[in-house]
Amino acid sequence: MGQFQPFLSRNILKKRRFNLKKISSIVLRISITLFLLIFLFRKTDIAGLSGIVRQTDVWRLAQAFALFLFLNFLILLRWQALLQGLSIRVRLSRIFITYLSSLFFNLVLPSTIGGDTVRTIDMARHTAHASSGVLATVVLDRVAGFFGLMTVLVVALFFGYRILNDPAIIVVAFILLGIILFLTGIAFWGRFFNFIFRHVPFERLRKYLYKIHDATASFKEHRGVLFYVWFLSCIVQAGLPIMYYLASEAVGAHVSLAYFFIFVPVITAFSVIPVSIGGLGVRDTACVALFAKAGMAAEKAFVLSLINFGFIFVVGVFGGLMYVFSLYRRRV
């Protein structure tokens, strides 16, 4: 037993270091979220915020929420198409429960990676399919979202750049393009993937990553599916600016719709950066900073961003309840 003691001690030490890094990451993200929110609350008029909330047009707000629900339904159809592309047959109702559950975990975990992990594990369990294949569909779902976002942003800049005339947005667009090209290379180009991941130190992890790549690369034989999910992504990313516009009308912030088609894709991109809890704080800061360029008051831009988070929160909590109920039914 004594000869194994050093080995066991090293494993325990590695686990402690890993847990410490994980806790440090969570604490850092919570700190960033709180810092940004406190900063925004101090920079805005609290009395003005409460006045905006009291005067909100409930009918317009309901329209924005209905559109939000419809766009999430399109995301369900997008993921279903990707699952079917790998011959993973599953009822839309099951995809509905799993997807909404992932939205709940996006709220309570430090980043969207947590929600995607839950999505992968839950769907793999229900379909008895390899988790690497399910995860491949989740990855492609994210990549498709970025493609749709970039498409909408490019079209909006082509027709509406003269309205804004801000080179910083062009810089952001090129950064997003670089991210998309990088993700596309990893998903579909074997040589590029091998160049990036061949030196991963853990053999089991490296083999798992290669399985994911094999699954994503197989979609090169299903170009119809890729076109379909890109088309749905474009509708979703074009619908989000309209949702924001309806919400802005609800709070009395009358700004041209063209600004929303330019700003909202950028806000969406910032919100997925894993430095805060559920994008909270980062999304709000980006919303206030960008819509200030269109002359929107900081208080109204902040409320607009909080409304968007409120929509996510309501649907996420509903997804959490469905997840708990589905767990109960499995045990019964």
Count structural domains, the chain. Answer: 1
* Matching residue, tokens 């709180």: 34
Alpha-carbon gap, residue 194 to 213, rounded angstroms: 10
Question: What does 16-76 look like in DSSP terms, one character per residue?
Answer: HHHHHHHHHHHHHHHHHHHHHHHHHHHHS-HHHHHHHHHT--HHHHHHHHHHHHHHHHHHH
Question: In this structure, what token pair is assigned to residue 30?
Answer: 């919570």
> pLDDT tens digits for 171-215?
878 888 888 889 899 999 989 999 888 887 878 888 888 899 999
Alpha-carbon gap, residue 132 to 140, rounded angstroms: 12
> What is the per-residue pLDDT for 277?
64
Contacts of 87 (CB under 8 A, 6+ apart): none
Alpha-carbon gap, residue 215 to 79, rounded angstroms: 14
Expressed as residue numbers, the domain containing 271 is: 2-331
CA atoms within 13 A on the CB side of 80: 15
> pLDDT tens digits for 48-63?
667 777 788 899 999 9
- Whole-model pTM? 0.82
Question: First CA to last CA across the chain, in angstroms?
Answer: 43
* Matching residue, tokens 């074997």: 190
The CB density around residue 311, as the number of other CB atoms within 10 Å, is 19
Tell me how many degrees the CA angle 176-256-247 measures, rounded to the nearest 5: 80
For helices 58-85 and 131-164, angle between their N-to-C axes, nearest 10 degrees:
130
> What is the per-residue pLDDT for 130?
85
As a residue count, the chain comes to 332
